[in-house]
Amino acid sequence: MRTRWWLLAVASLVPTVTLAQGSVFPSPDQKKVSRLLQPEEVSAEAHKFLKGQMKNHAKEMNQLSIATATLKYEQVKKLATAISNDPRLDPATGPASKLPKGFFDLQDYLKKRALNLAEVADAKDPDALAASYEDLVVTCMACHWAFLPPESRPAKKDEPKKEPAKVEPKKDEPAKK
Residue among 106, 22, 14 at smallest CA distance from 68 = 14
Q: What single-letter amino acid sits at 18?
A: T
Residue among 63, 38, 51, 55 at smallest CA distance from 145 = 38
105/91 Cα distance (integer angstroms): 11
The domain defined by 25-147 folds into Four Helix Bundle (Hemerythrin (Met), subunit A) (1.20.120)
pTM of the model: 0.66
User: Under a CB-based contact definition with an 8 Å cutoff, are residues 132 and 113 in contact?
Assistant: yes
70/82 Cα distance (integer angstroms): 19
92/122 Cα distance (integer angstroms): 36
Which residues, in sequence order, are CB contacts of 168 under 8 Å at separation 6+?
A: none
Residue among 33, 30, 31 at smallest CA distance from 107 = 33
Reported as half-sphere exposure (CB side, CA atoms, 13 A), residue 167 has a value of 7
Per-residue pLDDT in tens (0 to 9) along the chain, 177 residues = 444 444 334 444 444 444 444 444 455 665 555 555 567 777 788 888 888 888 888 899 999 999 999 999 999 999 999 999 998 888 898 888 888 888 888 899 999 999 999 999 999 999 999 999 999 998 888 888 777 777 776 666 665 555 555 556 556 655 555
| Cα-based distances in Å from 112 to 93, 108, 109 | 23, 6, 5
